[in-house]
Amino acid sequence: MKLDNNIFVFALLIVHVNISMSFFKCGPDLKCSCTTRPPGTVAMDCKARNVKLRQVCESIAIIYPKVSDLNIARNNIGNFNPEDVNHCRNISSLNMNYNQISSLHNYVFVDFRNILTLDLSDNVLDIYNKTAFDPSVLPSSLRILKLYGNFREDNNLKESSAYPIFTNLRNLEKLQLDGVETDFGLEYEYSSVRNLSLSSKGPLGFCLIKDIFPTTFHSLINVRVLDISSCRIENIYRDAFKHMKSLEILDLSLNRRLGFSSLMNVSYSLQFTNIQFLNYSRVYTSFGVGTIILNSDICYLRNTSLKAIALDGNKVQMIEKNTYLLLPKHLETIYAQENKFSFGLYLFQFGCLEHVQHIDANNLNKVHAPIKYLAEPKPKNDNDRSWNSECPFMTEESLKNIAKDIPACTYVPPNETVADWKPQFSRSLKIVNFSGCNMVYNIDNTQITINPSNNSFEALDVSKNAFHCLSSRIGPFPNLKFLSLSRSYCSFINSDFLSMGKLENLQLDQNYLGGMFAHQGGRDTFEYLTNLQTLNISTNGITRLKKNIFNTLIMIEEIDLSSNNIEMFAVNVKPLKNLLHLNLRGNAIHTLNNDFRQLLEDNSERIGNNFTLDLRNNSIEYSCSNQKFLYWLLYHKKRLQGFNEMVFYRLNGSSVDSNAFLRDVPHLRAQCRSYTIAMVLSALGVLSAGAMITGVILYKKRWKLRYWYYMTKQNYFGYRRLLNDYEDENYRYDAFISYSDDDLHFIRGEIIPRLEDCGMKLCVHQRDFLPGIPIRDNIVDAIRTSKKTVVILSKTFVKTQWCIFEFNMARMESTDNRVCENGCLVIVHFENVPAKSMPLEILDWMDNHSYIMYTRDPDGQELFWESLATAIER
Ligand SMILES: *[C@@H]1O[C@H](CO)[C@@H](O)[C@H](O)[C@H]1NC(C)=O
Ligand SMILES: *[C@@H]1O[C@H](CO)[C@@H](O)[C@H](O)[C@H]1NC(C)=O
Ligand SMILES: *[C@@H]1O[C@H](CO)[C@@H](O)[C@H](O)[C@H]1NC(C)=O
Ligand SMILES: *[C@@H]1O[C@H](CO)[C@@H](O)[C@H](O)[C@H]1NC(C)=O
Ligand SMILES: *[C@@H]1O[C@H](CO)[C@@H](O)[C@H](O)[C@H]1NC(C)=O
Ligand SMILES: *[C@@H]1O[C@H](CO)[C@@H](O)[C@H](O)[C@H]1NC(C)=O
Ligand SMILES: *[C@@H]1O[C@H](CO)[C@@H](O)[C@H](O)[C@H]1NC(C)=O
Ligand SMILES: *[C@@H]1O[C@H](CO)[C@@H](O)[C@H](O)[C@H]1NC(C)=O
């Protein structure tokens, strides 16, 4: 032995152990990995490291704390001698899976006093040949023994073959073997084995047992758990399990040619056992016609102690009526995933499942990969089986009797097909899962009532279906605590649907609710969820959240908003006195406000529990203006999920990783001092410049401001903006005439008669303004209620304050509020006004718009009246 080398390794080990108490390299050339386990022992993993058994065992001698578990699978180990495993004798678990061991030396396991688990699976031991394999060489302390994968399909089973007998292993509890077509010997009556697996499921070994005869398992009187899944079983005889009086769990799944035709014999057999759980899943191929469960198949189950049954992946399309009445009285759980249920009377009889608490029917109508079709055996169609069963429980009399004692259950007599009773659920039902069932529904205009109203539903998983719109009431669900609508293509959900006051956990992730939150606010979506503790609205394309969206969630502890596109988290957090965990990962957050930070700190302190915050994959701003938040993050870095992965961004776009952040943030305050001064100075500058600019703007916009003032006032008192299409019908006047009193003769003598005679209605202030109302309001009102405003521009008009006011108001109305194709303001150039006496606004307007010239010339007058009439009518 190269002692020096070992000491060196030893020293190295100590160093490693000190650095990391849980994980270190070990074994020959440090090829293996060791993990320390809580009570001071070590698990050594040498799987597929190309190591020799002897060297590994020798290295164990110097590892401290002592190695208790050794995995040396896949190292091409052949037969070995007692000396090879000398230093391994103290271990409690040895895994030698997938090596080349063909026989065991008589003394190899001598003095393995502590070993509990031995895995010799996938070797080449000739286990079923009594002369070649002597089970008595195995250590008697063993509790778990794995020997599957030693039989190859091409090994023909010899006449003399038999299951090996382990009666010397008095502590053996669990045994895994390959399943071959022979009976278990009488010696097994004395075996202590409780869990027996012959399955070839997954990576396990070989199993081919076509028929299960009454003799096959006759002597397994102590076995509690029998796994004969994936054993290519085709027939099971009536008394197959009759003698297994300890049997509690039977797994018959994945025997794809078994079908329901054997279920009657299985049911019969199980009456004599202590059965608790039967797995009868996938006893058909994945493709082919649907199947039906008949009363005769399960009739004898009524007389069993079954608590749970699994019928997954059996293409069940129909269940005979009254079948539920034959299920064992104390059945609590039904697994029925991956079937293809069709509508039938059985759906109305849910109430007959008196004690069933949990129904799992996920992935109904699941699509299977076509490649399976080639891999699976020929499909079995046993739907035409017609039993002449003697089972006493399925007589009409008996079924009626059973139904009589169950409150929500209705017995359906042989000839009755459609009854008008409502579907009822049993009051025991608590957990119902219908995830991924291709259900496509909107619940948006009819209420759905669940009977009975005092049902016990606690958890409902209907995720991975398609519910586009959920806006009317379903229920009541007075006890519902968990609801999952994940990945449901949902774009609308409201408080009517969510009126489930007891709900504690709501999963709405992976939907399309972002649009709803952004546009309509989703204001009271969560209104009634006053007991909600966990809300998941991750991956919903949310861009913003209304301030009061979470107002009523007073019990909320955790909100998951990850993978959305939120820039500002500015909701009102004051009522969220229990919020401790917020996930904002994968958004566009720059900062979080002080209210929110304070809330988390206060909640933590009051509740006595640390808050957590996930801010990974955001755009947190690394800048002086954000320094308070950055210091807060630094202080609470332990509360930040995945802090090491966090990235911060400077204003110039460059990024700061978490290490740089830890290094630089403490100096930020100093760096930002100059920034602060600059801020103060520039703020002062901005203030004075601001005052000036504001003054200028105020002056420039004075008309606009006045106009706004009047508009706001009118809006407040009920003015509604008129739509273009309805304008004509909605105007009180065709035109409001704006003129100076000096030109009254022109208005009285010509404008009014000429225009009103051809059917127009004019608004003229001396005639039409209402007394008792301020003149400004009268003007604005006249402009608003007239289709056009006609300005009679004269020398006195431009000098009259009220006239200028009218002009400006009309101008604003024309440009700001109303859509007039040809302008709502018509200017009549009544007399020549020198440009220098005209206000700028009027000059400017006339530069850009046409106006009508008044003339005293008779021919010209004709044209003038015509143009004016058209200008008003357009
Ligand atoms: C096995 O463990 C015992 C004490 O638990 C110890 O005395 C003995 O030396 C160990 N043997 C080996 C081979 O490590
Ligand atoms: C059983 O094993 C022995 C010894 O290895 C061998 O001689 C014998 O042929 C085997 N028997 C059968 C039936 O394979
Ligand atoms: C035997 O099977 C039962 C049920 O599956 C399980 O709870 C128990 O742990 C198993 N025993 C051993 C030793 O693995
Ligand atoms: C059921 O058991 C009876 C009697 O043991 C047997 O004759 C019959 O073939 C079995 N049926 C199936 C489908 O295995
Ligand atoms: C119910 O099962 C028991 C065995 O557990 C059996 O003795 C009894 O006859 C069965 N009852 C009926 C009505 O078949
Ligand atoms: C029933 O067996 C199937 C196939 O072996 C397995 O996938 C399923 O988990 C089992 N069901 C339960 C509830 O154990
Ligand atoms: C929210 O849903 C996602 C899957 O979309 C899941 O990973 C996450 O754990 C859920 N969060 C909570 C708080 O339940
Ligand atoms: C999240 O951030 C990590 C670390 O910066 C990065 O590796 C990852 O790609 C990001 N994920 C997404 C979805 O942006």
**Which residues line ligand 6 at a C-beta cut-off of 6 Å?**
201, 229, 253-254, 279, 281-282, 310, 335
Nearest CA to ligand 1 atom 10: 90
Residue 235 falls within a domain, yes or no?
no
Question: Residue 284 is encoded by which pair of tokens?
Answer: 């058909």
Residue 683 falls within a domain, yes or no?
no
What is the spatial distance between Cα 377 and Cα 502, in angstroms, rounded to a whole number?
49
Q: Which of 601, 634, 659 is the last residue of a domain?
A: 659
Q: String of b and e for 47-75 (b: at least 16 CB within 10 Å)?
A: bebebbbbebbbbbeebeeebbbbbbbbb
Nearest CA to ligand 3 atom 14: 174
Give the domain range for residue 571. Answer: 531-659
Atom nearest to 159 CA in ligand 2? 13
Pocket test for ligand 7, best of 483, 506, 509 (most atoms within 8 A of CB): 509
Contact 70, 28 (CB under 8 A): no
State pTM to two decimals.
0.75
Pocket test for ligand 1, best of 54, 90, 92, 114 (most atoms within 8 A of CB): 90
Say which CATH number the domain at 772 has: 3.40.50.10140
Pocket test for ligand 8, best of 563, 584, 589, 617 (most atoms within 8 A of CB): 617
Same domain assignment for residues 454 and 483: yes
- Amino acid at position 137, single letter: V
| pLDDT score for 3 | 42
Look at the chain and report how many structural domains it folds into. Answer: 4
Nearest CA to ligand 8 atom 2: 617
Average pLDDT per 10 consecutive residues for the chain, totaling 874 residues? 44 44 88 88 95 95 91 96 94 97 94 96 93 93 97 76 92 96 95 97 91 97 98 97 98 97 97 98 94 96 98 96 95 97 87 95 91 89 87 94 90 77 88 94 88 95 96 94 97 94 97 89 85 97 91 96 94 94 96 94 95 96 92 95 95 91 90 74 70 70 72 50 43 87 85 84 84 79 86 88 85 71 80 83 81 83 85 82
For 206-251, the pLDDT digits (tens) are 999 999 999 999 999 999 999 999 999 999 999 999 999 999 999 9
Same domain assignment for residues 467 and 535: no
| pLDDT score for 724 | 39
Say which CATH number the domain at 637 has: 3.80.10.10
Atom nearest to 143 CA in ligand 3? 13
Residue 107 falls within a domain, yes or no?
yes
Same domain assignment for residues 767 and 866: yes
| pLDDT score for 669 | 87
Contact 291, 312 (CB under 8 A): no
Task: Concatenate the DSSP letters of all residues of 399-425 into one string.
Answer: HHHHHHT-TT-----TT-----PPP--
CA angle 304, 308, 314 (to 5 degrees): 105
Same domain assignment for residues 538 and 508: no
C-alpha distances out from residue 812 to 138, 707, 822, Å: 103, 7, 15
Cβ contacts of 258 within 8 Å, gap of 6 or more: 233, 234, 236, 252, 283
Same domain assignment for residues 31 and 173: yes
| pLDDT score for 510 | 97
- Closest C-alpha to 544, from 513, 565, 520: 565
Cβ contacts of 511 within 8 Å, gap of 6 or more: 485, 486, 487, 488, 489, 490, 491, 537, 539, 540
Residue 142 Cα to ligand 7 midpoint, Å, equals: 43
Q: Could you check whether the bond before residue 476 is cis, i.e. omega within 30 degrees of 0? A: yes
Q: Which ligand is nearest to the CA of 392?
A: 5
Same domain assignment for residues 622 and 765: no
Contact 458, 430 (CB under 8 A): yes
Contact 807, 791 (CB under 8 A): yes
What is the spatial distance between Cα 343 and Cα 323, in angstroms, rounded to a whole number?
15
| pLDDT score for 25 | 93
**Which residues line ligand 1 at a C-beta cut-off of 6 Å?**
87, 89-90
Atom nearest to 391 CA in ligand 5? 14
Residue 410 falls within a domain, yes or no?
no
C-alpha distances out from residue 804 to 223, 840, 872, Å: 106, 11, 21
Q: Which ligand is nearest to the CA of 272?
A: 5
Residue with tokens 């801020």: 679
**Which residues line ligand 8 at a C-beta cut-off of 6 Å?**
586, 616-617, 645, 647
| pLDDT score for 39 | 78
Q: Could you check whether the bond before residue 65 is cis, i.e. omega within 30 degrees of 0? A: yes
Residue 719 falls within a domain, yes or no?
no
Residue 358 falls within a domain, yes or no?
no
Q: Could you check whether the bond before residue 452 is cis, i.e. omega within 30 degrees of 0? A: yes
44 DSSP β-pair partners: 34, 70
C-alpha distances out from residue 85 to 79, 97, 197, 296, 426, Å: 12, 16, 28, 58, 61
Same domain assignment for residues 2 and 148: yes
Contact 603, 578 (CB under 8 A): yes
207 DSSP β-pair partners: 179
Contact 183, 159 (CB under 8 A): no
H-type alpha helices, 175-293: 263-270
Contact 837, 867 (CB under 8 A): no
For 478-516, the pLDDT digits (tens) are 999 999 999 999 999 999 999 999 999 999 999 999 999
Residue 254 falls within a domain, yes or no?
no
Cβ contacts of 709 within 8 Å, gap of 6 or more: none
Pocket test for ligand 6, best of 225, 279, 333, 339 (most atoms within 8 A of CB): 279
| pLDDT score for 810 | 85
Atom nearest to 225 CA in ligand 3? 2
Residue 843 Cα to ligand 4 midpoint, Å, equals: 109
Same domain assignment for residues 148 and 3: yes
CA angle 644, 650, 652 (to 5 degrees): 145
158 Cβ closer than 6 Å to some ligand 2 atom: yes
Sheet harboring 655-657: ordered strands across?
A: 620-621, 647-649, 655-657
Radius of gyration of the chain (CA): 44
Residue 428 Cα to ligand 6 midpoint, Å, equals: 24
Distance of CA 248 to the CA centre of its chain: 36
Same domain assignment for residues 496 and 580: no
Q: Could you check whether the bond before residue 392 is cis, i.e. omega within 30 degrees of 0? A: no
Same domain assignment for residues 440 and 470: yes
Residue 458 falls within a domain, yes or no?
yes
Residue with tokens 């990391």: 20
Number of C-beta neighbours around residue 186 at 10 A:
10
Nearest CA to ligand 1 atom 5: 90
Same domain assignment for residues 475 and 560: no
Residue with tokens 């709900």: 503
Residue 484 Cα to ligand 8 midpoint, Å, equals: 27
**Which residues line ligand 5 at a C-beta cut-off of 6 Å?**
271-272, 303, 392
| pLDDT score for 232 | 96
Distance of CA 293 to the CA centre of its chain: 34
| pLDDT score for 821 | 58
Residue 66 Cα to ligand 1 midpoint, Å, equals: 9
Same domain assignment for residues 784 and 857: yes
Residue with tokens 């009363």: 295
